[in-house]
Amino acid sequence: MKNRDTFSSQIGIVAASAGSAIGLGNIWRFPYMAGKNGGSAFIIIYLVAIILMGYPLVYTEFAMGRRAKTNAVDTFGIIGGKKTWNSVGFLAVLTVFLISTFYMMITGWVIYYFYHSLTGGLYHISPSTDSVTYFKSVFTHMSSSMGIPLIFSMIAIYITALINSIGIKEGVEKYSKIMMPVLLVLFIILIGYSTTLPGFSQSMTFLFKPDFSVVTPAVIIGAIGQAFFSLSLGMGALITYGSYISKTENIRKIAKQVTFADTAIALFSGLLIFPAVFTYNLEPTAGPSLIFISLPQVFLKMPGGRWFSVLFFLLVIVAAITSLVSMLEILITYTIEKTNWTRKTSTWVIVFLTTIGGAINIAGEGPLSFVQIGGRTIFDWLDYLTNNITIPLVAVLTAILAGWVWKNVHLNKELEIGGTPSTMLDHQFNSILKWLIPPTIIILMIALILGIEA
Ligand code: PFF
């Protein structure tokens, strides 16, 4: 095998992996999922899922990747000792390809909103126009057309590809180390402002005072799916990054830092968005359009809102690009190792395929939006199927593979390289892979498929 690139430092691995984890899932999807599913009850289940299922799977994926030192598909076969396991890896890679096609579309929307906040065009509204109607029409006008979203999403994917085409150390690692601090600074500025709004305490109640009467299997699987999506699990991302981690690094420590950073940013995103929503009497349950229709109304009413809007959309762009980088990296690493093409060729082939997928999603929201199955557009279906079915399925099979086939001794051996001897608590986390994750997720998925509502 050719000499593989590696990350050069722990901080670089954490920046790249946290960059992968922190993305639209935290800032766009988490608040609206929490908003739609009863707020704090959803958040509590989400937090339990992060600790009991997310964290152990994060270190497992890293360890599998570092052990196998290859692309996500072949990693499964190597760890499982049988080629049939590759099919799980293939499902993971297919999932990430499908996700990247709608992720680039939404990132394109965000770039559009950033651009129009910067020029001020987004807020050119005559005083007599109703702001709800206005922002709805801005969003519909943008998302229902073809050319504009396509151009903006292509900008997103090209910026990403430029980073990937350089390589791991000089591309992915270096740019993550620049972008993550920028993200943090933007976040702190925006949160600081948010806490001064009158709706802050109301959103604390909404986010942290649970109402368990709204919990159904669908809400639970939604929260678990959100936890996995947010940590980039079940899609080969951390396996791929793990394959570039050197044997001197402490994987458990890195996994803790990445899990913590991702969760903190999701919770703070709630605190960033809901105070504004409550202060201006908007619906927290708005759904995917929360940041595109509700938030701009808030920015319009806030003093200095336009600049808040510029910073907010810039924040989302930075978060989304570092996630897109990791998605492309899974596909690129796989392509390079299967074809022997150079990194540059592989990158542009993947960009080409993703762009076609992106265009199909964009058409599905726009000119082809009449093509709906069961009331869902192509994007709705992809989002639903990946988050509720393929991601949990890959996650469960990963837990079975690591817990039952690879076994704790081998997992621990890999984790102790560059780390410290496993403690009692570490062993207990490993047992979760065997005893908790598989039955819980399987039962929930069956309940979901059978349409059981509590
Ligand atoms: N974790 C990212 C987010 O929360 O937005 C999404 C993601 C990144 C999914 C990387 C898949 C992936 F491979």
**23: CA distance to ligand 1 center in Å?**
6
Give the residue, out of 73, 103, 263, 323, with the most ligand 1 atoms within 8 A of its beta carbon, to mutate for a pocket test: 323
Of the listed ranges 6-15, 203-212, 215-224, 245-254, the one predicted with least confidence: 203-212
Could you tell me if 245 and 419 are in contact, meaning their C-beta atoms sit under 8 angstroms apart? Answer: no
Mean local confidence (pLDDT), 21-32 = 93
The pLDDT score that the predictor gives to residue 217 is: 85
pLDDT band at 51 (very low <50, low <70, confident <90, very high): very high
Query: Residue holding tokens 């929503």?
Result: 277
**Residue 295 to residue 199: CA distance in whole angstroms:** 14
Tell whether ligand 1 has an atom less than 6 A from the beta carbon of residue 106.
no
Give the residue, out of 99, 240, 265, 268, with the most ligand 1 atoms within 8 A of its beta carbon, to mutate for a pocket test: 99
Tell me the Ramachandran region of residue 7: left when phi exceeds 0, alpha when psi lies from -120 to 50, beta otherwise.
beta
pLDDT band at 451 (very low <50, low <70, confident <90, very high): confident
Q: Give per-residue pLDDT as tens, 380-396.
A: 999 989 988 999 999 99
**Residue 157 to residue 352: CA distance in whole angstroms:** 10
**289: CA distance to ligand 1 center in Å?**
19
**19: CA distance to ligand 1 center in Å?**
9
Token pair of 79 as six digits: 């760890």
Of the listed ranges 40-44, 101-105, 300-304, 434-438, the one predicted with least confidence: 300-304
pLDDT band at 21 (very low <50, low <70, confident <90, very high): very high
Could you tell me if 233 and 391 are in contact, meaning their C-beta atoms sit under 8 angstroms apart? Answer: yes
The pLDDT score that the predictor gives to residue 432 is: 96
**126: CA distance to ligand 1 center in Å?**
39
Tell whether ligand 1 has an atom less than 6 A from the beta carbon of residue 326.
yes
**279: CA distance to ligand 1 center in Å?**
30
Q: How many CB atoms lie within 10 A of CB 9?
A: 13
Q: Where are the alpha helices (DSSP H) in 280-342?
A: 294-301, 305-339
**229: CA distance to ligand 1 center in Å?**
6
Tell whether ligand 1 has an atom less than 6 A from the beta carbon of residue 328.
no
Tell me: pLDDT of 351 over 60. Answer: yes
Residue 450 C-alpha from the chain's centroid: 27
Mean local confidence (pLDDT), 248-253 = 98
- Reported for 165-169, long-range contacts at CB under 8 A and 24+ positions apart, including other chains, are 165/343, 165/344, 165/347, 165/348, 167/5, 167/343, 168/5, 168/6, 168/7, 168/244, 168/329, 169/5, 169/6, 169/7, 169/8, 169/12
Tell me: pLDDT of 454 over 50. Answer: no
Closest CA to 433 of 410, 409, 401: 401
Angle ∠(141,139,160) on CA atoms, nearest 5: 105
Token pair of 428 as six digits: 């207990």
Angle ∠(114,120,125) on CA atoms, nearest 5: 115
**230: CA distance to ligand 1 center in Å?**
6
Q: What percent of the chain has pLDDT over 70?
A: 99
Q: Which atom of ligand 1 is nearest the CA belonging to 262? A: 4
Length of the chain: 454
Domain assignments of the chain as residue spans, ordered by start: 10-450
Q: Which atom of ligand 1 is nearest the CA belonging to 230? A: 4
Tell me: pLDDT of 446 over 60. Answer: yes
Tell whether ligand 1 has an atom less than 6 A from the beta carbon of residue 24.
yes
Q: Give per-residue pLDDT as tens, 166-201.
A: 999 999 999 999 999 999 999 999 888 888 888 888
Q: What percent of the chain has pLDDT over 90?
A: 77
pLDDT band at 333 (very low <50, low <70, confident <90, very high): very high
Closest CA to 87 of 331, 373, 436, 398: 398
**424: CA distance to ligand 1 center in Å?**
31
Q: Which atom of ligand 1 is nearest the CA belonging to 30? A: 4
In this prediction the pTM is 0.95
Q: Give per-residue pLDDT as tens, 68-89.
A: 999 999 999 999 999 999 999 9
Closest CA to 53 of 401, 334, 395, 293: 395
The yes or no reply on domain 10-450 and CATH 3.40.50.2300 is no
For residue 60, the SS3 value is helix
Longest Cα–Cα distance in the chain: 69
**Residue 23 to residue 322: CA distance in whole angstroms:** 7
Tell whether ligand 1 has an atom less than 6 A from the beta carbon of residue 23.
yes
**Residue 168 to residue 65: CA distance in whole angstroms:** 15
Angle ∠(221,223,229) on CA atoms, nearest 5: 100
Mean local confidence (pLDDT), 351-377 = 95
The answer for residues whose C-beta is within 8 angstroms of residue 262's C-beta and 6 or more apart is 18, 21, 22, 26, 230, 231
Give the residue, out of 57, 179, 235, 258, with the most ligand 1 atoms within 8 A of its beta carbon, to mutate for a pocket test: 235
Could you tell me if 258 and 13 are in contact, meaning their C-beta atoms sit under 8 angstroms apart? Answer: no
Mean local confidence (pLDDT), 209-225 = 86
Of the listed ranges 63-67, 195-199, 279-283, the one predicted with least confidence: 279-283
The answer for residues whose C-beta is within 8 angstroms of residue 126's C-beta and 6 or more apart is none
Q: Give per-residue pLDDT as tens, 106-131.
A: 999 999 999 999 999 999 999 899 98
Q: How many CB atoms lie within 10 A of CB 418?
A: 18
pLDDT band at 2 (very low <50, low <70, confident <90, very high): low
